[in-house]
Chains A and B, each alone.
Chain A
């Protein structure tokens, strides 16, 4: 039997590191459906989840995979799934149910190039807006973007922690390169990993209202079988969980659920700055594209171009104020991403016209080379 936390130094792919992060975070249910380039996460979990007392099941499609993940979470198990574009589309339905019923879980999307079947084995970052808006109705979402296998490990733990704290599905928006890249992954002692678990109900069971929020806007969560007799529905509901068909009840509920993220931006948003202090042009990037951007910054600096990098570790919620303050002191903002302009649109919006915003991107299939970024930086700085 293996330990829950595989403490030590390992040579792992991003997908394997993600699975190890999940095991270390206490994930005990994985609802799977195979898809390139995320399959290795499922394979790793199929082998190792039973060893730590968890259960793995390969469902009949991604719709079922996501539904099973929500069911397991409602039964009290930390749960997750992993997929790529086509499967991500199928999961949007139950992602919405998870958001509206406030069911914690983690959904990993190892992005490949779309639309449709696209380039299954090749990288892209074209699902970023789908991550934000892919399920119907208005909601906020948390999406993290790992840049390395080491980060796949840590971000999976962070994703579980955020999902448990805020009672929401949390997305990890990886990419094919980060998922398949093998690198050194350092896994700390179990005691050094801080884990969060959902807030549990207190007081009389018969008086418990499953959707009555605490002062932080987040309701404690009872699992099925604990004697609370709760009702959970994807319909608009009141604090008892009962359906209420009125605009007022809808406004109240949607506002509270959206508020869980909007009122806690400082607790959620993480970014990393590189050589931004004296920069005149800021690159904004995430995932594998941030690695190319990092190299481009150094090369630009050698050529006398004062470039810096803002790496988005959290992509959603978007670091709006940070981008606005950067735009104020930069000559230009340049978003680097493997799509034809998604996060770029957000950067442009958040720059509030204070400086021009440019995109270095392409439709997908390969990483963006540092040379291409450098060319753009040279053209912009002229």
Chain B
């Protein structure tokens, strides 16, 4: 009986809304791996999970909070970071984790991302980058490689993509890392580190989207994983301007930034709670 019970439970079940499974993700999708890495990190980090809340925008990756058995908020497209900002300031005791996709966080939500990083808002932002808008069927995103085909760039993408860690660094993020879903241990460790530290932490997770992106670019799920294995170079502490994400040359992975800087709240408490007579 005990054996049967063991077979039926998964170590992460307590963190999953099992009554919501099956999930919406396609076969070969990488989001599930990023999801489980996040849950493992949440458990191992030792943070108070009752005080932990997940926030997302819209898209495939934005469905993660809905499957997580914690307080979770599935908000509007691109607006997870300002929503999370309000949550953190409304109750500074909360650990606020934004889990969303590249289209959500960097196209429609790009402005919010750079300002969240600039303020060093004490939140953790995990971005699954699958190089396209998956939920709507594979359209070009701000992260789609040049010349790649999507339903809205049928002849090839004429635009260059963002280098997300460089953008995060330039905007002021105090923790910046990039991993792939093949590098689950490093990814998990990185999320754990981000959850335990204060300040704006950003982790990019490269993940295949065979349905939306792969099939139009001759990239099967295993091709993506093989690529992650063969072409990735781990260079911790590399300058974000030097890291690459180039399907010919390779991908730089690692933790690139991990610095201390006072958060928005730290500075607000010190400067804004003075007697107003003293400031006017």
Interface residues of chain A, those whose CB is within 8 Å of chain B, are 1, 28-29, 31, 47-48, 50-51, 55-57, 59-61, 63-65, 67-77, 79, 93-94, 96-97, 223-235, 242-243
Contact = CB atoms under 8 A, between A and B. Distances in A.
A77 B86 CA distance: 9
A296 B265 CA distance: 52
Interface of B: 17, 19-20, 50-53, 55, 65-66, 69-76, 79, 81-91, 93-94, 111-112, 115, 264, 268, 272-273, 275-276, 279-280
B86 A68 contact: yes
Given A74-B73, A94-B79, A225-B50, A68 B85 contact: yes
A84 to B, nearest CB: 19
Contact of A59 (B51, B70, B115, B273): B115
Contacts of B74: 231-235, 243
A225 B94 contact: yes
A242 B18 CA distance: 12
A97 B77 CA distance: 11
Contacts of B51: 225
B95 to A, nearest CB: 9
Contact of A51 (B70, B85, B273): B273
A232 B50 CA distance: 16
Contacts of B276: 47-48, 51
Contacts of B112: 60, 63-64, 67
A203 B17 CA distance: 21
10 contacts: A60-B115, A64-B82, A65-B82, A67-B83, A75-B87, A75-B91, A77-B89, A79-B90, A96-B76, A231-B65
A61 B116 CA distance: 12
Contacts of A230: 71-72
Contacts of B264: 57
B93 A225 contact: yes
A70 B89 contact: no
The 8 closest A-B pairs by CB, nearest first: A71-B86, A75-B90, A72-B90, A68-B86, A64-B82, A67-B82, A77-B90, A233-B74
A96 B74 CA distance: 13
A97 B75 contact: yes
Contact of A74 (B76, B81, B87): B87
Contacts of B87: 71-72, 74-75, 224
B62 to A, nearest CB: 10
Contacts of A70: 75, 83, 86
Contacts of A225: 50-53, 71, 91, 93-94
Contacts of B94: 75, 224-225
A172 to B, nearest CB: 19
Nearest to B121: A57
B85 A71 contact: yes
Contacts of B52: 225
Given A29-B90, A243-B66, A67 B115 contact: no
B173 to A, nearest CB: 15
Contacts of B85: 57, 59, 64, 67-68, 71
Contacts of A47: 276, 279-280
Nearest to B94: A225
Q: Which of B50, B71, B75 neighbours the largest number of chain A CB atoms within 10 Å of its CB?
A: B71
